[in-house]
Amino acid sequence: MAQLTAFSYCSGDSAVHAMDVRVKMALLMLVSLTVLGAGPAALALMSVCLLFLICYLHLPLKSICSELRYFLVLLVLVFVARALTTPGDPLISTRWVSISREGVLAGAIVVWRMALVVLLGLAFTATTSPPRIKAAVQWMLKPIPLIPRARIATMMALLLRLIPLIFTQLSETMDAQRARGIENRKNPFYRMTKFSIPFLRRSFETADRLALAMDARCYSDQRTDPLLTASRRDIGVLSAAAAFFILIYLV
């Protein structure tokens, strides 16, 4: 069965798990914005904090790295691109390629920032169940008029629900075609057509059945709003974090 293991919720009873999802989202935005403007010292401080958080949450670092291997490749590409294209004092210079000291530093900072934001996102999704994230988005859309927020929340839920199902169908369709020797056909257009038609038909049929099942359970846009409660501790954490990050930004 196809599974998405990175960026998935790990149930637990830590203080971060118990924190109000809106506060966690606000913190995520605040830290991400701070990271974008932070220098090496601030990044180092935040990295230490983040490592402490990952250890506290008992997140499996090894499997996280394995899950994020394609993202690591992206980071390497970003670093190389920066190092090669930023002008400055040459660190290594050959006839074809010149790597500048400024380029290496700029590349390292960008990669560091991107890695921190992704790890923060991972800590957020690992400690927040999808229904809570959906509830927070629904709550945040409340002040915006003419937005069908219940429908948007349901669409988010269905998206999260359907992605693994679609991956399973994708892998089953590919296996079924391999079993019938599709690999012997070299024409990519032929292969794509033969693959996409049954796959899309199956996906649409699944969507139809899902819609029918939702109807059978009285689905409408008029639904119970999710219950969200922020404690004094949540507000305290948010205020302290805001003060801390404003200080980092100013320094």
Partner 1 sequence: MGVIELENLNYRFPGGPPVLRNVNLSISTGTLVVIAGENGSGKTTLLRHLNGLLLPDSGTVVIDGRPVVDDIRRARQLVGMMFQDADSQIVGETVGADVAFGPENLCLDPHDVSEKVAAALAAVGLTALADQRTNLLSGGEKRRLSIAGILAMEPKIVVFDEPFTSLDYPGTQQVLKEILKLKQSGRTVLVTTHDLEKIIYYADRLIIMHAGKIVRDGIPDDVVGEVETFGVRQPCASRMGLEVAPWHS
Nearest approach, Cβ of 216 to partner 1 (angstroms)? 5
Of the pair 57, 91, the CB lying nearest partner 1 is at 57
Widest distance between CA atoms in the chain:
70
Q: What is the CA radius of gyration of the chain?
A: 23
Of the pair 212, 250, the CB lying nearest partner 1 is at 212
Nearest approach, Cβ of 85 to partner 1 (angstroms)? 42
The neighbouring-strand residues paired with 216 are none
Query: Helices in 38-148 by DSSP H: which ranges?
Result: 40-56, 61-67, 69-85, 101-127, 130-140
For partner 1, the binding residues (CB under 8 A) are: 1, 3, 8-9, 11, 129-131, 134, 157-158, 160-161, 164-165, 168, 206, 209-210, 212-220, 222-227
Of the pair 11, 184, the CB lying nearest partner 1 is at 11
CB 119 within 8 A of CB 68: no
Tokens of 234: 């949540």
Q: At 99, give phi and psi (nearest 5°).
A: -110, 125
Of the pair 46, 136, the CB lying nearest partner 1 is at 136
Nearest approach, Cβ of 245 to partner 1 (angstroms)? 30
Nearest approach, Cβ of 227 to partner 1 (angstroms)? 4
Tokens of 112: 């560091």
Judging by DSSP bridges, how do beta strands 90-93 and 98-100 pair with one another? Answer: antiparallel
By the 10 Å C-beta count (0-12 exposed, 13-18 middle, 19+ buried), 217 is classed as exposed
Nearest approach, Cβ of 66 to partner 1 (angstroms)? 19
Of the pair 88, 130, the CB lying nearest partner 1 is at 130
Of the pair 88, 226, the CB lying nearest partner 1 is at 226
Query: DSSP code of 221?
Result: S
Nearest approach, Cβ of 10 to partner 1 (angstroms)? 9
Give the integer Cα–Cα distance in Å for 57 and 64.
Answer: 13
